[in-house]
Structure 1
Amino acid sequence: MKISTFVPRKAACTPIQLAIFSLLASMGSVQAQEQTSAQAQAKAAKESATISEVIVTGTKRATSLQRTPVAITAINAETLEDAHVQTVQDVVNLVPGFQATGQGDHGVITMTMRGIGNDSAKTEYADPEVALFIDGIYAPRPEGATSLLFDLEGIEVLRGPQGTLWGRNATVGAVNMQTAKAKIGDSSGNFEGGVGSYNRIGTRGAFNVPVSSEFALRFAFVHEKHDGYVDFQTPPTLSLDSQKAAFATYLKNGGTVVPFQPINYALFTQDGPKYSAQDQSAARISMLWKPNAATKIDLSYEKFVDRGTPSMNLLQNPRAGQSQWSALIDTAPFLKRDTDSIRGRIEYAIDKSMQLTYIGGYSKFSGSSRFDQDGGATLPTSFTTGGNMQANNTVSSNYKNFSHEVELQSIGARDIDWQLGLYYGSETNDIRFDIPILNATYQGTVGWQGSFIQPKETVETAAAFGQATWNASSDTHITGGLRFTSDKRTNVGGRGYGFSNKPELSQSAITPNVDPASATSNFAAYSFNDGSYSGSKMTGLLRISHDIDKDNMIYGSISTGYKSGGLQDGGKTYGPETLTNFEVGTKSTLLGGTVRLNNALYYGKFKDFQFSAPVTAPDGTRGLQTSNADGATVYGFESELAAKLSKDDKLQITIAIAKATLGNLIGGSNDYALPACKIPGISNCLDVSGNTMPHTPKFSAQVMYQHTFHLNEGTLTPRLSLHYETDTWLSVFNYGDGDKQEAYARADLGMRYQSTGKTAWYADFFVRNVTDNKIKTSALNANGPWQAQYLPPRTVGVNVGIDF
């Protein structure tokens, strides 16, 4: 095969041409490998250890990664530990085409894959496009995505629509976390403690207890705590004369007539917990029971507690004399989240050819938070002039989720592998969310304030699915699958309350003890959110794969993904979105098993893409609005290479080339100072048709390398991780340099000493974000100057542990 014929001699390669070239190159390597003699392969195997086989469950069967015709990134427990992965946001550098962003006011993380995500998927109103599963059980609310990732067997990230087997909201992908399971007959454990930057203290451990020949227990725990990154700024003291002059101008321009007050600088937060602090703990107890050869029962209970603080909107260009990591704070941070989860799996082998599996779960979440939305972007000039004071207060947020799935599937070698399933999931949510906006300071007059109270919102999803693979020959496999999903949502008693501005009633900022429905509260209901939505959709998969030889495979697929429509403020509905994805991929094991190269080339067409954002209506009322764009187009190339250069040298490289373009949409958002809008129902908006989707670098790459030095009684393994990506927009508005993260490179370093003596102890040193880059994850300019949230600054630390 002459690969060069695909590249014009005098023309520069486009990214897609490069993608095709790499794809074909991996196919072309088949010939080179076949020409390698058996003797050379044997010699290579002796001189270099091979990469161990990776087993994945992306097809809801235990299969070899290199024999699974799906774009999957499998991250084992060792890699998670080396990369110091704690949340989904830490996983992104290990997966091509994957992004995760922090959202301060709810303390959650939202996910984007292959250019598609939803930054507003952080409340009960908006769902994600990337579905999160824990032990195969869907986690519906994004709070779960920030839970500490502890005592895991690994994480599988499936890229592309997973609507047939994985179902709801897996429009562009799914993340499945596999917790470590109890092991019968094994008595072992581990314990680790660590310290680091910002007074970081961390502990974690796990213990496996063999109770009997049929039963085992496993206990695991983790606690991570560090101080916040954001320092408190001291407010500049203004002379009384300048304050009075600013106030006089305010009255002259028609401002509310109130008595003058000097600014009370004690209202600005100067001590206490800082923003971006971590204080999280979790514990899990798991059991495994095998009462007989045909039955296996896994059951676990997990408790997660978060007492950290939200992240903060920081000025992109700090004021003179102020640090980048500081803000003028008038709302002290607060975050309280508690999650209880029960997960279970029962497997029963009916006979040698068929297995019945039940997968079920229950989760309960409660939380509250307080967040300084304005971040001190504009300094006050008097007690009621020169900027806004805005707090976003989640007074209470609660949800309960049930998930039940029954699967019947074939087992063993056969001409047709098949599986059938039924799924039912339900959610019940309630929330109260207050937004007080005062002019300049907490003493100032009311600019606007509201309370959004949702006493009951329910979600019900039912689905039936089936998938079969015809093994046409030992080398060729054809797979087809269908899933029918029915969704229903209801909103009972939801209300949006706005400030009435009656002078005889309270003019203070709303607090949790205020009942906005009371006639004496100075609030009135303006949004009546009662309503219902129901819809259904059939999604499917058609795929063919061919094993070129025992080490090389090529596949092609057409698959569809689906996300339900739903309800928004005012009881209005929005429609579902669908994605049709075309994909070609290769998987190759090269050089006697020392190199693994997997590629995927994809093209996706969205229909009715959902865009959600907080907006202001012409009458000044506010709410969260979801619109359906005409669509979006995404295409790109992903490549993953893993190599053992020698017994002591490991190399991993991931590459992603992507392009994601939005269809026709006129969008609004209160986070941006947008032009006046002619579209009914929105006061400010922008035509974003044809814009680049956010969090989608045209090119990104990750390189990880480590080498092991053998010492007298141990090993020393330094490791280097480098990440590079081109510039990315932070919103669909593509609103100038402030709304963009410029191209950047980031480095993480580590050094691990592992003893080889009688006691298996280790010490692991790490430096993250070595060059202390300021990497934006979101942006806004609604408060005047441009602000952003950032990935953490440079941090250093050490963990010391023991395995027993």
Structure 2
Amino acid sequence: MNHPAPQPRRALRSPFAPIPLAVLILVAGIGNAAAQTASTPAPVPAATEANGMAEVIVTATKRSTSLQKTPIAITALSAATLADNHVQTMLDVVQLVPGFQATSQGDHGVTTMTLRGIGNDSAKTQYADPEVASFVDNVYSPRAEGATALMFDVEGIEVLRGPQGTLWGRNSTVGAVNIQTAKPELNSRAGYVEGGIGDYHRYGMRGAVNVPLSDTAALRFAIVHEQHDGYVDYQKFPGVPVEQQRAAYLAAGGAAAAFRPINPNDFAVGDRKYNAQDQSAARVSLLWHILPSLQWNVAYEKFSDRGTPSANLMQTPRAGQQHWSTLSDSAPWIERDSHNVRSRLSWDISPDLALHYIAGFSKYKGTMRFDQDGGATVPTSIISGAKWQEHTTTDSDYRSQSHEVELQSTGTRTVDWQVGLYYGGEKNSIRFDIPIMEGTKDSGKVAWQGSFIQPRETVDSSAAFGQATWNVNSQLHLTGGVRYTHDKRENVGGRAYTWRGNLNAPGIPLNPSIDPRTHAGLQADVPGNDGTFSGSKVTWLGRVNYDLNKDNMVYASVSTGYKSGGTQDRGLTYQPETLTNYEVGSKSAFMNGAVKVNNALFYMDFKDFQFNSPVNFSDGGRGLSIENAEGAEVYGLESEIAARLSPDDRLSLSVALLKTKLGALVAGSNDYTLPSPCVAKPEFERCLDVTGNTLPHAPRFSATLMYQHTFRLNNGATLVPRVTAHYETDAELSVFNLGPEDRQESWASADLGLRYQNKGWWVDAFVRNVGDKKVKTSAFNGFGPWLAQYKPPRTIGINTGIDF
């Protein structure tokens, strides 16, 4: 069955359009300005250690510091590491970082992240905030679709573990991910281009070019496109004898004269498959040394997604059906576009003082459709035997801006300090439809349906912060930091229009052409979703680090984290979430720096832990419920080892041990078959006491081993085979801990690669998930049989490229 074409879209009129236009105007005048500006010295090459390994520089403290001298648990992934592991999205990053998990949620097609056992699978709508904050070039990205969808022309990624609220701010409760894009370089005319193919009709290309404009300015253009067919095949309707259908139809209350058999053509067969990729992005960046002491980096980026969501699949396929297949009567689509402007203006006021202004503007707009029921049951007639449920984002519009001013000391000082001011604002709107039919989509009878319209959801967050490090002597360093944050969230005009069973109403499922406000069978829920939350919080950091010698450092810290409260369906509010993190760690180098070992031992104590879930209310309504658990406890150990065994052999190992425990909470969710009625919380139709349960996506032990060897050929070329192996113990997939189906059992996988390089030209072949492991990332049984979403199956491919 072919889905109706999405409604025509109005041309995007971004309020930020003058900014990229201004960049182009500035470019025209830079050549004249260059004649009046002193030349800037060439960049200093990266430091090289005695063993030939490049020193890793990170910006976790909002300064450029050596990874081994930075007293924070950080995983720094270079551009080479990302390329070797074929990292395209945040889902590809997770196994390179200890204690890091990420899932792709099908009904919104976004990526949600978990770090140290803490995450938020519902951080995919305008309501729920993530626990792990995403930044691109130090600019906060509230919507993960654009920031982490495609990793292209990236200089590196830093994953900061533990609360980062003092310096990084919003929603970095348990960590932050900062993606650094490649910046223009002065006096350089260089670039690269590459392309690749693979199974599932995969095709990809990307490239970048650096163009000098003058001695003080340069542009960089980057582009990427990645696509592959979906992994999930469509099942044909298995067929039910007509007489059986008639009997089932009559038993379900159908009128004999109106009976007609199920039309097999109502099921998707030739449509685009689920789990397909079709994404493109482009970026133009400008670096301008306006004065010797004044530097501006500004970039405009456009991202488009025309792929399909991830499918809900049966954990135990029906007889005769393959695992990667679904019986679907909802052909999927995604149509998303985002525009982003990121700017950094840096002024070296004096040899001891610098001022930075970091700003970001983004606009996101999108629609999508998704088969929620996953073909869990086969209809026995057009009105019986199965529940059909579809999720459609009819319209979604998110706009955000952020502004941060930092004043910091520079150079070698007894006290290193920095202070700053921050403002972030969001304006969101969405319409989200959930039609549910008994039997089949086009001929069934309405079981329930609702349209959730949020015309104006706003966030305003402002903060002031400061942090200082007292270098008592060359070995002892004491750091203290504090941040004051004020948040205001408001929902204006939000309404849920839900089914009231009007017999005179048309019994057809909601679709984008239907106005739910005037539909005869729908009524606005009372009360509506109007609500306001306002609150503030002071968070702080205390840390001591001591250099035992030039190769060994230890540190200990106590830090607090905070995530704002807010409004939710029915105008209710929920409380802020806070935590205190206690951590000790070490960073060491052995064998003249050829072996580096970094460790972190931590304990996190949460208060008012926020839990989000879609629920059925006891009065027949539905909505997203956000509750505060009494708390949660998490403790663990992380270790990272990087070794250069010889000039041609490199090995790295990351290990994470984790233990989680949820505080007092009675939770509801319509994704699961839970006890009914709900006595502990009468407002919910179903609920379960989950106090003391293990948090989801938190394996007790996980490890990643990477090894590569360089063969040096006679013609000067190199051949580098590599292997990445990953292992995890079993992990729960929800707070309900409902048994094997709601859990991913212990698993192991491996990725293989082989790279040939001759001067600037290279070829790289790879196999991912060699053993074709079926690894669940979510699970539910609200439709009877257990369904799940999975990591991708085995994929193979080959890329080739040239640097110039």
TM-score by structure 2 length? 0.93
Task: Note the C-alpha offset of 1:259.
Answer: 2.9
Q: What residue is the counterpart of 1:745 in the other structure?
A: 748
Q: What residue is the counterpart of 1:213 in the other structure?
A: 215
In the alignment, the residues of structure 2 paired with residue 321 and residue 339 of structure 1 have an alpha-carbon distance, to the nearest angstrom, of 42
Residues 269 and 332, structure 1, Cα contact 8 Å, conserved in 2? yes
In the alignment, the residues of structure 1 paired with residue 89 and residue 49 of structure 2 have an alpha-carbon distance, to the nearest angstrom, of 38
Q: What residue is the counterpart of 2:278 in the other structure?
A: 279
Q: Aligned partner of 1:725: which letter?
A: E
In the alignment, the residues of structure 1 paired with residue 554 and residue 255 of structure 2 have an alpha-carbon distance, to the nearest angstrom, of 71
Q: What residue is the counterpart of 2:649 in the other structure?
A: 649
In the alignment, the residues of structure 1 paired with residue 257 and residue 592 of structure 2 have an alpha-carbon distance, to the nearest angstrom, of 81
Q: What residue is the counterpart of 1:735 in the other structure?
A: 738
Q: Which consecutive unaligned segments of at least 5 residues does structure 1 have?
A: 1-45
Residues 166 and 539, structure 2, Cα contact 8 Å, conserved in 1? yes
1:295 aligned to 2:294?
Answer: yes
Residues 49 and 593, structure 2, Cα contact 8 Å, conserved in 1? no
- State how 1:228-627 maps to structure 2 within 5 Å: 228-251=230-253, 259-442=258-441, 443-518=443-518, 520=520, 522-627=522-627
CA spacing shift, 1:710–1:403, aligned 2, 3 Å: same
Q: Aligned partner of 1:184: which letter?
A: L
In the alignment, the residues of structure 2 paired with residue 80 and residue 524 of structure 1 have an alpha-carbon distance, to the nearest angstrom, of 49
In the alignment, the residues of structure 2 paired with residue 227 and residue 555 of structure 1 have an alpha-carbon distance, to the nearest angstrom, of 48
Work out the number of aligned pairs and report it. 753
Q: Deviations over 1:49-96 (max 9, x none)?
A: 343210000000000000000000000000000001011111001100
Task: Note the C-alpha offset of 1:436.
Answer: 0.4
Q: Aligned partner of 2:555: which letter?
A: Y
CA spacing shift, 1:499–1:400, aligned 2, 3 Å: same
Task: Note the C-alpha offset of 1:236.
Answer: 1.0
Residues 87 and 145, structure 1, Cα contact 8 Å, conserved in 2? no
Q: Aligned partner of 2:306: which letter?
A: R
Q: Deviations over 1:519-559 (max 9, x none)?
A: 64544434500111100000000000000000100000000
Which segment is superposed worse, 400-409 or 49-58? Answer: 49-58
In the alignment, the residues of structure 2 paired with residue 146 and residue 324 of structure 1 have an alpha-carbon distance, to the nearest angstrom, of 28
Task: Note the C-alpha offset of 1:258.
Answer: 8.9
CA spacing shift, 1:792–1:228, aligned 2, 3 Å: same
Q: What residue is the counterpart of 1:51 in the other structure?
A: 53
Q: Aligned partner of 1:337: which letter?
A: R
Residues 274 and 333, structure 1, Cα contact 8 Å, conserved in 2? yes
1:755 aligned to 2:758?
Answer: yes
Q: Aligned partner of 1:741: which letter?
A: Q
Q: Aligned partner of 2:719: which letter?
A: L
Q: What residue is the counterpart of 2:90 in the other structure?
A: 88
Residues 718 and 750, structure 1, Cα contact 8 Å, conserved in 2? yes
4+ aligned runs moved over 6 Å, structure 1: 255-258
Q: 2:172 aligns with which of 151, 170, 173?
A: 170
Q: Deviations over 1:697-720 (max 9, x none)?
A: 000000000000011221000000
Residues 660 and 694, structure 2, Cα contact 8 Å, conserved in 1? yes
Q: Deviations over 1:277-334 (max 9, x none)?
A: 0000000000000022111100000000000000000000111111100000100001
In the alignment, the residues of structure 1 paired with residue 49 and residue 458 of structure 2 have an alpha-carbon distance, to the nearest angstrom, of 60
Q: Deviations over 1:478-500 (max 9, x none)?
A: 00000000000010100001012
Structure having greater relative contact order (Cα 8 Å, sep ≥ 6): 1
Q: What residue is the counterpart of 1:132 in the other structure?
A: 134
Task: Note the C-alpha offset of 1:47.
Answer: 13
Task: Note the C-alpha offset of 1:513.
Answer: 1.5
In the alignment, the residues of structure 2 paired with residue 430 and residue 524 of structure 1 have an alpha-carbon distance, to the nearest angstrom, of 18
Q: Aligned partner of 2:166: which letter?
A: T
Task: Note the C-alpha offset of 1:619.
Answer: 2.1
Residues 88 and 145, structure 1, Cα contact 8 Å, conserved in 2? no
CA spacing shift, 1:594–1:641, aligned 2, 3 Å: same
Task: Note the C-alpha offset of 1:235.
Answer: 0.6
- Report the 3-state secondary structure (helix = DSSP H, G, I; strand = E; otherwise coil) of the residue aligned with 2:501: coil
Task: Note the C-alpha offset of 1:248.
Answer: 2.1
Q: Aligned partner of 1:628: which letter?
A: N
Residues 533 and 566, structure 1, Cα contact 8 Å, conserved in 2? yes
In the alignment, the residues of structure 2 paired with residue 524 and residue 641 of structure 1 have an alpha-carbon distance, to the nearest angstrom, of 57
- Report the 3-state secondary structure (helix = DSSP H, G, I; strand = E; otherwise coil) of the residue aligned with 2:374: coil
Residues 530 and 571, structure 2, Cα contact 8 Å, conserved in 1? yes
In the alignment, the residues of structure 1 paired with residue 512 and residue 95 of structure 2 have an alpha-carbon distance, to the nearest angstrom, of 40
Q: What residue is the counterpart of 2:41 in the other structure?
A: none
Residues 657 and 700, structure 1, Cα contact 8 Å, conserved in 2? yes
Q: 1:705 aligns with which of 704, 707, 713?
A: 707
In the alignment, the residues of structure 2 paired with residue 438 and residue 416 of structure 1 have an alpha-carbon distance, to the nearest angstrom, of 66
Residues 101 and 110, structure 1, Cα contact 8 Å, conserved in 2? yes
Residues 47 and 646, structure 1, Cα contact 8 Å, conserved in 2? no
Q: Aligned partner of 1:365: which letter?
A: Y
CA spacing shift, 1:47–1:582, aligned 2, 3 Å: closer
Task: Note the C-alpha offset of 1:515.
Answer: 1.2
Q: Deviations over 1:364-403 (max 9, x none)?
A: 0001000000010001001111110000000011110000
- Report the 3-state secondary structure (helix = DSSP H, G, I; strand = E; otherwise coil) of the residue aligned with 1:165: helix
In the alignment, the residues of structure 2 paired with residue 519 and residue 125 of structure 1 have an alpha-carbon distance, to the nearest angstrom, of 26
In the alignment, the residues of structure 2 paired with residue 350 and residue 461 of structure 1 have an alpha-carbon distance, to the nearest angstrom, of 28
Q: Percent same amino acid among aligned pairs?
A: 59
Q: Aligned partner of 2:439: which letter?
A: A
Residues 102 and 778, structure 1, Cα contact 8 Å, conserved in 2? no
Task: Note the C-alpha offset of 1:272.
Answer: 2.0
- Report the 3-state secondary structure (helix = DSSP H, G, I; strand = E; otherwise coil) of the residue aligned with 1:448: strand
Q: Aligned partner of 2:436: which letter?
A: I
Task: Note the C-alpha offset of 1:504.
Answer: 1.4
